[in-house]
Structure 1
Amino acid sequence: MTIRVQATLRIGGTLGRSHLANLTAAIADDHAYLDWSGEPFDPDKIEEGVPLVLTVNEIIGGELCMVEAFCRRHGLTYARWSGGHTEFGPIRVVFNGAGVPQEFPATTDDEVLIRLETIRALGSLHAIERHFAVANLTIPPFIIDPEPA
C-alpha cells in the first residue's frame, strides 16, 4: 500500500507569464489545491504580495513532485511541510531558488525540530542559529511577470 500524507507548499519568486500554463499543469498533476477545502488552482486567483500556497490532502510520500521540480527549474523559492506517518515523521523541505532542497524534521504544526546528533555536529550556538535560519526561510511574494526580460 502506498503511503499518502497531507502537505502544504508555499512558493515565492518571480515567474514569467509564459510559464504559467506549465505551472498550472504541474499543480493539476500533483492534485494540489488553493486551500484545504479543495478549491482548484486558478491562476486568476493568485494573490499579489504574498507567497502562493498550495495544499494537498493525500499525496504519495508528501512530495509535490511536479510542482517542486518546476520550481527548481525556474529558480522559485519554496517551503513544503509534509505530515508524518507511522513509518516517518513530518518534515519541512526548503529550497532557496538554487542548489538542492534541504530537509528538516518538523512537528505536525510545521515547527522545525533539531536532533541531538545534529546539535553535536553543528557544534556551536551560532551554527545552530544558522541551521534554524535556513529551515525557517522567508518565502517572498509570488509574482507573475507579464513580460520576462
Structure 2
Amino acid sequence: MSDRCSATITLGGALDRETFVEMAGLIADEGLSTDWDGPWFRAQDLLQGQPLRLVAREVTGGQFDELEAWCVAHGVPFARWSGSYPGSWSAERVVFTGQGEPACFIADEDDRVLVDKATVEVLGTMTRLREHFAAAAFIVPPLTVLDWEEEV
C-alpha cells in the first residue's frame, strides 16, 4: 500500500459548462468531498461564484495528480495543502495562479507556510521573504461556470 495522508484543494476560475463537467469527473475519480468524510462531490453540489474547496483522507502521495495536471493544462487556479507522511514527505502548500507552473511551499499540519534556513538564505532579503509569503497566501478566485444551468 502506498503512503497516504489528508489533503485539501481549492479550485477557482471561470469555466464553460462542458469544461466544468469534465473537471467534475476528475474530482469524482479522486473521491473528493466538500466535507471531511462526507459524500463524494457531484457537479450539482457546486455553489456557483465561490471557490470550490474539496477534501479527502488517505490521499496517495498527498497529491491529486490527474486533477492538478488537468488544472494546470486548463489554466484553472488552485491551492492544495497536504499533510506530512513521517519518513517520506513534509506537509506542503502548492499554489497555481492559473499561469506558469505550480509553486510549492513548506507548510505545517495546519496549512501555515513555513520557511527553513535554506529558503531564507536563497531569498536573501526581507522584501523577497514577504513576497514568498504573499505568493503562498494566493487567494483562489470564485469558481464560476459561465453557462451554468441548475440541471448539471
| Shared fold per TM-score greater than 0.5 | yes
Give the aligned residue type for 1:80. Answer: R
Aligned to 2:146: 145
Between the aligned partners of 2:40 and 2:85, the Cα distance in structure 1 is 26
* 1:113 partner SS: coil
Superposed structure 1 runs of 4+ greater than 2 Å apart: none
State the distance in 1 between where 2:74 and 2:118 align: 34
1:23-34 alignment to 2 at 5 Å? 23-34=23-34
Matched-pair contact (CA < 8 Å) for 2:123–2:129: yes
The code of the aligned residue for 1:55 comes to: V
Structure 2 counterpart of 1:40: 40
Q: Which residue of 2 aligns with 1:103?
A: 104
- Structure 1 runs not aligned, ≥5 long: none
**Distance change (3 Å), C-alpha of 1:9 and 1:22:** same
| TM-score computed with the length of structure 2 as normaliser | 0.92
Greater Cα shift, 137-146 or 18-27: 18-27
Distance 1:93 1:130 in 2: 15
Gaps of 5+ in 2: none
Q: In structure 2, how many angstroms separate the alpha carbons of the residues matched to 1:54 and 1:65?
A: 14
How far 1:48 sits from its partner (Å)? 2.6
* TM-score (norm. length: structure 1): 0.93
Among all aligned residue pairs of Structure 1 and Structure 2, give the percentage whose two residues are the same amino acid: 37
Please give the alpha-carbon distance, in whole angstroms, between the structure 1 residues aligned to 2:50 and 2:19: 19
Amino acid at match of 2:92: I
| Contact 2:37–2:56 (CA under 8 A) maintained in structure 1 | no
Tell me the CA shift for residue 37 of structure 1.
Answer: 2.4
